[in-house]
Chains A and B, each alone.
Chain A
Amino acid sequence: MSRTFWAIVGKELLSFIRSWQLVLVVLYSFTVEVYIAGSGIEINPRNVAVGYVDDTGGGISQKILARLHGPEFLPPHRFKSQEELSRAIFDKEIIVGIVFDADFEKNLRQGRNAQLNVLLDATAASQAYTTMGYLQSILLDIAAPDLPIDVASHKLFNENADNHTFMALTEMLSIITMLTVILTAVVFVKEKEQGTWDIMLLMPVDPKLIILAKSFSQVLIVMAGIVISLGFIVLGAFQTPLNGSFAAFALLSFFYVCASAGIGLFIAAIARDVMQVAQLSIIVMMPLIFLSGAWTPIYAMHPVLQTVSLASPLRYYIEGTESIFYRGSGWIDLLPYFGGVIAVGGIMYWIGFRKIGRLF
């Protein structure tokens, strides 16, 4: 019984290693791809390109501009006329344009209401918002320096709002989903395509054992990928804080990978060839990944999508992972996530298992 099981697992692992292109792609996804996603992008407003036109003598205007500095802002760029400034904004080279017109300083010195003209490129909304906030507080500070209110704000769990670790982590979770689903489905469909699957089911070995062993082999491959990705990239290169228990994460990952393998089984049961696996898995995975809260938190979505996302095991996995890594939640707080992954995953695995095991 268990000898047959391990023999099948061994055979699948061997045939995986023999396809060197596939091994390379899997390794690439778990390392380089996660690294690119983590290092490449900064969602927080940084390096906002500011341009200005200054028709005043330059006393107060320079005082204001001097306070727009790095890392949030690039050094402000001076333009000769308002036309030049708007051309740069239209070409998307400048996001925020500030115009100090001739009587700005005069009005201010004489105690009249001075006005500052600001042009914002609203397609970069979060940059525009942040800059407005900065400008507002700078102007308030200059005009009424005696207002004694401080805001002491703390960004919990991620004090610098460092986006790199977060992007790397969610990217790893997406890759886990994608690879598990596709690898599992293809292992079965390849046999179907070559006509050997029916023979497998007719062999004197329990078909349930074959299905379990085959999907387990792919779970092993992905778990190995997770270890590599965590060790070298997420914890290694990006130094992501791991505030919670590592065992909890490993266990949650294992359940989740099994759930994804269930989706793979289901796809394998419907698809007739690898081409169809490709289509089906993309059609199933895309909603799964993008409704999971990796890109936008669930409660900020359209209400219909929120309900749909309850059926996505990735949702529970991502929330659980966030809690383990950043919030450092204990086992009791993690129970709902474990429950979600196991419940949804169990149903999916069971459906897939039933469907693929049926002969003809």
Chain B
Amino acid sequence: MRLRIIRAYIYKELVELVRSRFIVMVFLLPTMLLLLFGYGIRMEVTGARTLIIDNDNSVLSQRLIAKFEHSRYFRTQVEPISEAQALRRIKQARADVIVVIPESFEKRVLHHQRTGIGVFVDAAFPSRGVTMETYVRGVILDAASDLGKERSANLIAINQRTLFNQAMRDEDAIVPGLIGLVLLVSPAILGALLIVKEKERGTIFNFYASPLSKWEFITAKLIPAFLLHSLNIFVLFLWAVYVFDVPFRGSFWLYWIASEIYLLISISIGMLISVVTRTQIVAVVLTIIITIIPGFMYSGIIMPISSMSGPSQIEAHIFPVMYYNHILYDVFLIGEGIESEKTARYLGIMIVYSAILLGLGRLFLRKELK
């Protein structure tokens, strides 16, 4: 390793990044992604357009409707239309939920005869369909237990404690996970273009012909990308804490160190792609495809790892984002830090992971014509 040469090469890389205006992308993309996802993704459903058809018009049915009207999850409309007309509204995507209260609903309930409330949910968007169904059931159940309390006092109360995110805010649950996704995608794209660009333009021959060693080449290519993206670690932290109001309960040191290691992993993924592909377009498309989708799926944003089954469980463990996101959620919401044995283990895995990727990049990099 000859530091003087590496320094000169790093300088050249930085100048190139600035001249090609790629530097704008380095800082614009992570922030843009975080803001877009952060404001764009909503897990909870508020204001579902609910159509209630009340065929009973009794005190009991009015009480049920009032329950719906007082919930912020529903935007209720009571209309005397037929079921077929209501279904047609869902078909045109003008309503999300239909609740049908049957005739003589009150009479049957008071006489202990079974009666059914019809609920139709638009499940063309499946996860929302399920969520809305859960809410509707919850409201009806709530009304039913009110009724139960009036009749017999002996009910089991649930003393519920929500951990880590007491207010159940979507931002708290999503934004830390997004940092893991953003710090995977953006550095990987930068890394992917670093070497393949020279191959396509033919300037790679400078490297073939120069006495520069492979390690020196890789170091010189990675360091500028690494340093520039290191700034993003702080920028993303500021967005999360001050714009999205996510609490930060852990140690900042742990966040910083884990993020730097993770950065090394994602740049190395890009570099590995850059080493094996021949044209820039292939490198870009490949990077987007293998980072965004798995990055989102295995980030723990939409699904906890413990709920995955079989193959997905294994894939999640192969992909780096799971380890980093565990640490992210810990420092933002939980705050156990390195004392937790699992966090320490995951940090170790990330270090090994980055070493393996760098080794692979060195292995596949050629320094001569085929």
Q: Does A156 contact B (CB under 8 A)?
A: yes
Pair A300/B42 contact, Cβ less than 8 Å: yes
Q: Min CB distance, A85 to chain B, in Å? A: 11
Q: Does A166 contact B (CB under 8 A)?
A: yes
**B142-165 interface with A by 8 A CB criterion:** 142, 144-145, 147-148, 151-165
Q: Which of A196-204, A230-238, A274-282 contacts its partner?
A: A274-282
**Cβ of A157: which chain B residues have Cβ within 8 Å of it?**
122-124
Pair A287/B285 contact, Cβ less than 8 Å: no
**Cβ of A183: which chain B residues have Cβ within 8 Å of it?**
281
Bound complex: CA of A162 vs CA of B58, how far in Å? 37
Q: Does A14 contact B (CB under 8 A)?
A: no
Q: Which of A134-142, A252-260, A349-357 contacts its partner?
A: A134-142
**B124-138 interface with A by 8 A CB criterion:** 124-131, 133-134, 136-138
Pair B115/A301 contact, Cβ less than 8 Å: no
Pair B173/A125 contact, Cβ less than 8 Å: yes
Q: Does A55 contact B (CB under 8 A)?
A: no
Q: Does A360 contact B (CB under 8 A)?
A: no
Pair B28/A115 contact, Cβ less than 8 Å: no
Q: Min CB distance, B315 to chain A, in Å? A: 7
Count A-side interface residues using an 8 Å CB cutoff. 113
Pair A148/B109 contact, Cβ less than 8 Å: yes
- Chain B contact patch, size range: 35 or more
> Do A125 and B144 form a contact, CB below 8 Å, given A40-B312, A41-B302, A151-B136?
no
- Where the two chains meet, the residues of A that have a C-beta atom closer than 8 Å to any C-beta of B are 19, 21-22, 25-26, 28-29, 33, 36-37, 39-49, 74, 89-95, 108, 111-130, 132-133, 135-137, 139-140, 142-144, 146-159, 161-163, 166, 171, 175, 178-179, 182-183, 186, 273-279, 282-283, 286-287, 290-291, 295-297, 299-302, 305, 319, 322-323, 326-327, 329, 333
> Do A297 and B128 form a contact, CB below 8 Å, given A94-B306, A151-B116, A333-B91?
yes
Q: Does B219 contact A (CB under 8 A)?
A: no
Pair B158/A132 contact, Cβ less than 8 Å: yes
> Do A41 and B297 form a contact, CB below 8 Å, given A113-B155, A123-B329, A130-B134?
yes
Q: Does B205 contact A (CB under 8 A)?
A: no
Bound complex: CA of A178 vs CA of B290, how far in Å? 13
Q: For B128, B130, B172, which residue has the most chain A Cβ atoms within 10 angstroms?
A: B130
Bound complex: CA of A95 vs CA of B308, how far in Å? 13
Bound complex: CA of A115 vs CA of B113, how far in Å? 29
Pair A119/B284 contact, Cβ less than 8 Å: no
Binding site secondary structure of chain B: helix
Q: Does B360 contact A (CB under 8 A)?
A: no
Contact among B120, B124, B193 for A154, CB-based, below 8 A: B120
Pair A122/B165 contact, Cβ less than 8 Å: yes
Interface flags for B99-121 (1: CB within 8 Å of A; 0: not) read 00000000011001111111111
Bound complex: CA of A113 vs CA of B154, how far in Å? 6
Q: Min CB distance, A239 to chain B, in Å? A: 15
Bound complex: CA of A127 vs CA of B134, how far in Å? 11
Interface flags for B312-323 (1: CB within 8 Å of A; 0: not) read 100100000000
Pair A43/B157 contact, Cβ less than 8 Å: no
Q: For A25, A28, A33, which residue has the most chain B Cβ atoms within 10 angstroms?
A: A25
**Cβ of B152: which chain A residues have Cβ within 8 Å of it?**
143-144
**Cβ of A326: which chain B residues have Cβ within 8 Å of it?**
123-124
- 14 A-B residue pairs with Cβ-Cβ distance under 8 Å, sorted by A, are A40-B311, A44-B130, A111-B154, A115-B158, A123-B165, A139-B158, A143-B156, A144-B155, A148-B112, A153-B133, A178-B288, A182-B285, A286-B33, A290-B36
**B165-207 interface with A by 8 A CB criterion:** 165-166, 168, 170, 172-173, 189, 193, 197, 200
Q: Which of B260-268, B334-342, B362-370 contacts its partner?
A: B334-342
